[in-house]
Structure 1
Amino acid sequence: MLTMTYEYKLQPTPEQIDIIEQTLDVCRSVWNFSLRQRKDWCASRKSPVNACSLNCEYIISADAPFPNYHRQAKELTDAKKQYPQLKTVHSQVLQQTLRTLDRAWDDMRARGFGFPRFKNKYRLRSFVFPQLGKDPIRNDALKLPKLGWVKWRLSRPIPEGFQVKQARVVRKASGYFVALSLQLDVDVPLPPNPR
């Protein structure tokens, strides 16, 4: 399997820009809420017996399970009934936000990376559509869920035989971009073993 990423500049309409910005806001809220859940769970497990915080103490029951990806994704489904703004964003985008947080959490524990950070408006600049519909590409536009056909600059053609697997919409200072993950089903030989 050969995977490549091509980046293209988007030319969204003002309505599409509003949807992109709203999606980034909701993804940031989901990230921050989920990270707070994990931090509170850890803080409730490490409080010393002879001392407690002077400000406040958030206590979670001892038998409460760790809020991992699967539990938080299930809670996200239930939260959509209570918070209607979560329904405005594609469900797979929110799930990818939780997966990214879960990967950052695992990297912190396994690889010694720093603690995942809370995101402000300028730190969370992208979101991922893990699946695109059938025939999402035209020469002048790209079809994204909830956004419809978004005009783009096809600065280089997509190579023959490659399938578009996912799309990451990125906000930069110079505008909005899409990073397409392309895959080709081909056997790539392993490099020779050096002796």
Structure 2
Amino acid sequence: MELIRGQVYRLKPTAQQIADLEGTAGVTRLVYNLMLEQRRTWGQRHKLGRSTQSAEIKTLRAEFDFIAARAQTTQKHALNDLERAFQNFFARRAAYPRPRRKYVDDSFRHDGREVKIRRISRRWSEVFIPKIGWIRMRDSYGGKIAGLEKSIRTATLRRDASGWAVSFAVTLEIAECATPLGQIGIDRGVAAPIATSTGDIYRLPAGVAHTDAAIRRAQKAMSRRKRGSRRYAKARSRFARLNARQVRRRQHMLHAVSRSIANNNGLVAIEALNISGMTRSAKGSAEEPGRNVRAKSGLNRAILASGWGSFATMLGYKLEERGGILISVDPKNTSRQCAECGHTAPENRESQATFRCNVCDHQAHADINAARNILARGINLKRRGNTPLLDAEGKALAPCEASTILSVAA
């Protein structure tokens, strides 16, 4: 089975290479914004499209040396991105395309055939980028970079708060293997981001709370600086680095947990949560102001920090590799229903962590009890044989041959 996966490697460019990377990202961003403005002004009148604007890029390269000095492929990919953005807009899948901004959209893409890779030591390799040269690259996949060059479809170079990185979209051949026989239900929460029906509870790494405090201090320091000053830029850089560190920690935890679950279970049941609705602001309007706005905003931050949506996505494609299925079930009363006798009542949930059934006196951790109910509903849903949908969060999308997810309306 062939699948397309992304692999990210951290780069260590020289000062001259950093300038070249920034220059290529800047020219790519300029071309994108020029093509966007051209369509916004003349698009309907002249019926501009990808083929017409591709000729415009050739004219730009002929007239401006600083544009011609950068790789043409990156500019063609920028035009492809713009075409896709307009297609999504006209299909009402996205908002109107916005201009790209410096420090936010510092990225560009090359075709895989233009990229070369060579290994120089046990921990380091080099990647060749057209018009820039060989850039040192940290081999973070345990020496598996050998033979990667032949399977690269695209290479995207992107700058974040931690520096430059390259992301390879590679074609992987997944060997056929027996689907695991295990079945598990998963409850996603705030105090305990992941709780399973087998009794395991996964929490965020220990350093997250400490770094959260450092992020708040960095944000306060940034608010006291004058915008546009060097001290403000320094404080903003520290704030961005701390945020990037938190993202990496959370992503690592979610990847590790989802991989362990996918390797040991052929059926995984989760709740069909409407995360965008759950994290909507409670501010209200001037005529009808909201209530408990600060408390609701804190809850929203906690939900988003737990990575519920990312975890479901990771589970979906990792189960697909091993032939498993991900089932999303109706979340109603999963935390109030007894997993032993089925009695449902608000009084059963004594506290955030304690569940005690008023009928059979069954006691358990509230999240684990909910996970058991989720698993039971998932098994029943599978037996009923509902139509597979690529939908782990309650947003019904078109069926796909490679889909491994079942869903039921919440």
Whether TM exceeds 0.5 here: the answer is yes
**Residue 136 of structure 2: aligned partner:** 151
Corresponding position of 1:91:
72
Distance 2:114 2:30 in 1: 26
Q: Per chain length, whose mean CA-contact separation is higher, i.e. which structure has more relative contact order (CA < 8 Å, sep 6+)? A: 1
Name stretches of at least 5 consecutive residues in structure 1 with no aligned partner.
Answer: 46-61
Give the Å deviation of 1:109: 0.6
| Residues 1:167 and 2:155 aligned together | yes
Equivalent in the alignment of 1:115: 96
Equivalent in the alignment of 1:68: 49
| Contact 1:69-1:98 within 8 A present in 2 as well | yes
Measured at CA, do residues 150 and 169 of structure 1 come closer, stay the same or move farther in structure 2, by a change above 3 Å?
same
Deviation per CA, 1:134-168, whole angstroms, max 9, x where unpaired? 75332421111112110011011337765122211
- 1:112 CA displacement: 3.6
CA distance in 2, matches of 1:190, 1:155: 27
Matches of 2:167 and 2:115 in 1, distance apart?
A: 18
What runs of 5+ residues in structure 2 fail to find an aligned partner? 176-320, 326-381, 387-410
Letter of the 1:183 counterpart: T
Report the RMSD for the aligned CA atoms in angstroms. 2.4
- Once residues 101 and 174 of structure 1 are traced to their aligned partners in structure 2, the CA distance between those partners, rounded to angstroms, is 27
SS at match of 1:25: helix
**Greater helix percent: which structure?**
2
Q: Distance in 1 between matches of 2:79 and 2:70?
A: 14
In 2, distance between residues paired with 1:78 and 1:125? 24
Q: Match of 2:21, SS? A: helix
- The percent identity for this pair of structures is 26
Q: CA deviation at 1:32?
A: 0.8
2-structure distance, mates of 1:190, 1:172: 35
Task: Decide whether the 8 Å contact of 1:10 with 1:151 is kept in 2.
Answer: yes
Q: Which residue of 2 aligns with 1:54?
A: none
Aligned to 1:124, what secondary structure does the other structure show?
coil
Decide which structure has the larger Cα Rg and report it: 2
Query: d(CA) in 2 for partners of 1:167 and 1:95?
Result: 14
Secondary structure, in 3 states, of the residue corresponding to 2:118?
coil
User: 1:9 is aligned with what amino acid?
Assistant: R
Q: Which whole-Å CA distance do the structure 2 matches of 1:131 and 1:72 have between them?
A: 23
Deviation at 1:78, TM superposition (A): 1.8
- Alignment length (residue pairs): 175
Contact 1:136 1:144 in 2 (8 A): no
The residue that corresponds to 1:26 in the other structure is 27
